[in-house]
Structure 1
Amino acid sequence: MRETLPVRSESFSPVSASARIRRIIAVCALGAVMLTGCAEHGDAGPSAAPTENATEPAPQAAAPLTGMPADLEVLGRPSLAAKIGNDVEARPQRGLDRADLVFEELVEGGLTRYVAFWQSQIPEELGPLRSIRPMDPDIISPFGGIVAYSGGQQIFLDQMENTPVKNFIHGQPNADPFMYRSKDKPAPHNVILRAEKLIKDQQGLSAPPTQFEHAETAEGASALQGGTPVATIHATFSASRQQSWAWDANQGVFLRSQQGKPDPDTDGKTRSATNVIALRVNIDNRYQGVPKTVLIGSGTGHVATGGQVIPVTWSKTEATAPITLTTEAGEPILLAPGNAWVELVPLISGAEVRLE
């Protein structure tokens, strides 16, 4: 059923871009001014011979969400968060193969949903969009940028809209040009976002700050520097959501399964991750049957990269602060450059993280 909500004015203050990105853009701007000055005031003598600098590629730095090399277009654009369904009827979901970060969270009935983020790659379309939950403002706020979802209870809508993130909600006028219901899946598993179109329309928003720290190379990742070998990470949320990540040395990634079966993307390939982050989290049950993952605080977990795993401590000081990962000795955790999935596994009966 289409969730129609009253139109409300939006207020948000995007998170500022990192100093690193500002420096790169400033350098490029200064270079352009200098080149223009030379063209206007150069002498009438013979043109100088081309130099090697004339063919140098555009400056690059690490993308804030993946640590991968990125050009200025990527570095300057906002992140796009979306609430994505994980019901059987919602699979295979569109666009998850191009997400920089995916958080998996417990919802009602022992099921899970995703909060996914795109910034370095923007798919033409993604979905299906589902409704917001009480923990989502704490997950999404540190990124700024945009969030898209299908609706939700009024209390959760109010919480999400009271964040430094621009909201696009199915059924509201500002979202109508960017969302539609597909015919390949039944409602409510068929709200699709025209992601590429939305990002092009919102270029005035700031880029996200770095969330997790990345090593410059995969070999520098903390799990490879100080971890132990791991074949499979099992992340069990409930009897009906038993997820796992198996290391594939040939591909150099972890491959995802749900309930013991490969979890395919729309092209039939099994979903994969360079980094798998499994965190144990408390659950707040104040919302009458809607579990809230508690993220303001601290806890323990594991980070897996390159076929190795390392125990970690996680912490988050406030809604707009990123999750910080450290070793047991208090050193910052470095991920390998690439995508990451974050399993927010609840500290409840029947849920566990198990390593093989």
Structure 2
Amino acid sequence: MATLAVVALAAGSTAGTSSAKEAPRPPSGKAAQSSQPSQPREATSPFTGLPAEPAPVLAVKIDNHKDARPHTALEDADITIVEKVEGGLSRLLGIYSSKFPESLGPVRSARAYNVEQLRMFDRPALSYSGARAGVEDLIEKSPLHARSHDKYPEPYFRGGDNEAPHNLYVHPDQLLDTAPEASKSADIGFRFADAAPEGGEPTAERSVDYGSAETGFEWSEKEDRWLASFDGAPATSTGGARLGGRTVIVQKVAMPPDDAGTPYEETVGKGKATVLRDGKAYETTWERPTAESGTTFTLPNGEPMPFDRGNVWLVYEEA
């Protein structure tokens, strides 16, 4: 990647578009006149920093059991979140907005912490297979547009080579048709720049182990991205594509057990996070004051940590 003398940060606004820099004002205080026609700024995704128009946000709970792999269209997610569930296993949460594939999955059940976690996207649509009674009630009473297979079966189907329950898939467009008021992509605190900041620790690989599931990332200079693996095996899609992202966040959070023994990822608050980009690891501080707030990642010098433009992977690690 090219190294720039000045890092220009690109932030997604509530409309999903980077804000324009204000032009200098003349001494009279009147706006400067120009004979040149103004050029429209290209809309960018606040989730990836890449060109994209504001679009509905769809969150999908994705199975990550070994019998559920390979995943379908996980490579199309703007953000892939890895979460710890009971038994030391992992589950995924895909955030889709820039691109909606024809189908994706396999889809599995939601957890209680997803309600608070997803409020940073305002009121997204949530695709999931179902949930235990107490969690289902919590989700239904939340501002999220809950669209479970149990209550909205039409967008879902059984398919692929996996056996139930690892073979439930969803048609995103059909599901979003049932949630026309779902929030559109908006600023969640991520900042992007073409050049990495100074410093950082050269890093070839990083992994997070939940006990019964391990998620790893290996830096590929050739592909200019971090290649993902699950339980030591390369993570791939049903189409054969290797999964991975330009930026990987390992966010340390508290994980106290809920009343069912499921780790409850506490994503509101403040803590440490390691951000991987361009073959280096940067130590940062994450902060999210309220459930409705976005999450910021700040370098030790007080500057925002700029992510590389492209798919982002976020892995929760127990603090």
Measured against the shorter chain, the TM-score band is 0.7 to 0.9
Query: Conserved in 2, the CA contact under 8 Å of 1:180 and 1:193?
Result: yes
Structure 2 counterpart of 1:151: 130
* TM-score, normalised with respect to structure 2: 0.84
Distance in 1 (CA, whole Å) between partners of 2:134 and 2:176 is 27
Q: Does 1:112 align with 2:112?
A: no
Distance in 1 (CA, whole Å) between partners of 2:232 and 2:182 is 41
Query: Conserved in 2, the CA contact under 8 Å of 1:124 and 1:197?
Result: no
Q: Does 1:170 align with 2:149?
A: yes
Q: How does 1:66-105 map to 2 (within 5 A)?
A: 66-70=48-52, 74-75=53-54, 77-105=55-83
Query: Conserved in 1, the CA contact under 8 Å of 2:45 and 2:185?
Result: no
Query: Conserved in 2, the CA contact under 8 Å of 1:296 and 1:319?
Result: yes
Q: Does 1:60 align with 2:42?
A: yes
**What SS does the corresponding residue of 1:92 show, helix, strand or coil?**
coil
Q: Deviations over 1:55-76 (max 9, x none)?
A: x998522112111012xxx32x
**What SS does the corresponding residue of 1:292 show, helix, strand or coil?**
coil
Q: Would you say how many aligned residue pairs link Structure 1 and Structure 2? A: 291
Q: Deviations over 1:129-188 (max 9, x none)?
A: 11111211122111122111011112212222333321101121xx22211222522111
**Following TM superposition, by how much is the alpha carbon of 1:193 offset from its aligned partner in structure 2, in angstroms?**
0.6
The 3 A distance-change label for structure 1 pair 59 and 323 is closer
**What SS does the corresponding residue of 1:140 show, helix, strand or coil?**
helix
The 3 A distance-change label for structure 1 pair 57 and 82 is farther
**What SS does the corresponding residue of 1:137 show, helix, strand or coil?**
helix
Of structures 1 and 2, the larger Rg is shown by 1
Q: Deviations over 1:80-131 (max 9, x none)?
A: 1010010011101111110000111110111000111000111110111111
Partner amino acid, structure 2, of 1:61:
A
**What SS does the corresponding residue of 1:158 show, helix, strand or coil?**
helix
The list of structure 1 runs, each at least 4 consecutive aligned residues, that deviate by more than 6 angstroms after superposition, is none
Q: Does 1:231 align with 2:204?
A: yes
Pick one of 259, 264, 271 that aligns with 1:292.
264
Query: Conserved in 2, the CA contact under 8 Å of 1:232 and 1:247?
Result: yes
Cα RMSD, aligned residues only: 2.4
Q: Deviations over 1:296-318 (max 9, x none)?
A: 22111200111111001112222
Q: Deviations over 1:185-226 (max 9, x none)?
A: 211111111013333564553312222423342x1x44xx33
Structure 1 counterpart of 2:169: 192
**Following TM superposition, by how much is the alpha carbon of 1:19 offset from its aligned partner in structure 2, in angstroms?**
4.9
The 3 A distance-change label for structure 1 pair 284 and 260 is same
Structure 1 counterpart of 2:10: none
Distance in 1 (CA, whole Å) between partners of 2:225 and 2:43 is 23
Distance in 2 (CA, whole Å) between partners of 1:212 and 1:271 is 24
Distance in 2 (CA, whole Å) between partners of 1:331 and 1:23 is 18
Distance in 1 (CA, whole Å) between partners of 2:302 and 2:136 is 37
Identity of aligned residues (%): 29
Query: Conserved in 2, the CA contact under 8 Å of 1:212 and 1:335?
Result: no
Structure 2 counterpart of 1:18: 14
Distance in 1 (CA, whole Å) between partners of 2:192 and 2:71 is 30
**Structure 1 range deviating more: 303-312 or 277-286:** 277-286
The 3 A distance-change label for structure 1 pair 267 and 20 is closer
* TM-score, normalised with respect to structure 1: 0.76
The 3 A distance-change label for structure 1 pair 161 and 249 is same
Query: Conserved in 1, the CA contact under 8 Å of 2:17 and 2:45?
Result: no
Structure 2 counterpart of 1:248: 220
Distance in 2 (CA, whole Å) between partners of 1:165 and 1:275 is 27
Query: Conserved in 2, the CA contact under 8 Å of 1:115 and 1:136?
Result: no
Structure 2 counterpart of 1:275: 247
**What SS does the corresponding residue of 1:287 show, helix, strand or coil?**
coil
Structure 2 counterpart of 1:127: 105
Q: Structure 1 or 2: larger helix share? A: 1
The 3 A distance-change label for structure 1 pair 22 and 83 is same
**Structure 1 range deviating more: 112-121 or 177-186:** 177-186
Distance in 1 (CA, whole Å) between partners of 2:303 and 2:41 is 30
Query: Conserved in 1, the CA contact under 8 Å of 2:145 and 2:182?
Result: no
Query: Conserved in 1, the CA contact under 8 Å of 2:106 and 2:166?
Result: yes
Distance in 2 (CA, whole Å) between partners of 1:91 and 1:68 is 28
**Following TM superposition, by how much is the alpha carbon of 1:263 offset from its aligned partner in structure 2, in angstroms?**
1.2
Q: Which runs of 5+ in 2 are unaligned?
A: 1-12, 21-36
